[in-house]
Structure 1
Amino acid sequence: MANVLGGVRDCNESSENSLETESLARFAVDEHNKKENAVLEFGRVLKAKEQVVAGKLHHLTLEVIDAGEKKICEAKVCVKAWENSKELVEFTHTQE
């Protein structure tokens, strides 16, 4: 099936496990901690998708550690390479 222009697409396994994806995931956790005065620790990336918008929107499913307990979170990070910027757009805890 062809990709829809501007649609969300799965990253391949090598992209999902890349240093760039891990860096974006760590950025998302750090930004969430700053905004919410939280102390989540990055665990690992479980799933990664991306969407081309005004930049690239990364949809990340993360495992985080909260007071020793593993939890699953969803994060969206927008990267605008031409502006050398990235922004945490959304960070939510999913139901375990």
Structure 2
Amino acid sequence: MAEATHDAPRRRPLLGGIQDAPAGRENDLETIELARFAVAEHNTKANALLEFERLVKVRHQVVAGCMHYFTIEVKDGGAKKLYEAKVWEKAWENFKQLQEFKPAA
């Protein structure tokens, strides 16, 4: 049985810190569904008609569940625009809530 070497420092995510999601996460079906949820919730709350186009960037933060930070490309009429969304999820409780949805800076 091989022994683990302790020579190289291991990078551990900062607990509670916002981290970039692993590469390719913007193509993950569950992540895309959460981003679509964010757009749909925004549309309901703001009486808007934004259409989800694609997920541009994903970051997350471990809290009481997971806070997802998305940069989402939407279609507003014929124009493509970027928005930032924050979705709080507790998967074990089947809970998700849109915390924030605003135009990207």
TM-score by length of 2: 0.86
Within 5 Å, which residues of 2 pair with 1:1-96?
A: 2-95=12-105
Q: If you compute each CA radius of gyration, which structure gives the higher value, 1 or 2? A: 2
CA distance in 2: counterparts of 1:40 and 1:89, whole angstroms: 17
Q: For the aligned residues, what is the CA RMSD?
A: 1.0
* Shift >6 Å, 4+ stretches: none
**Stretches of structure 1 lacking an aligned partner (at least 5 in a row):** none
* Number of matched pairs: 95
Give, as a single letter, the amino acid of the residue that structure 2 aligns with 1:30.
A
Task: In structure 2, list runs of 5 or more residues that go unmatched.
Answer: 1-10
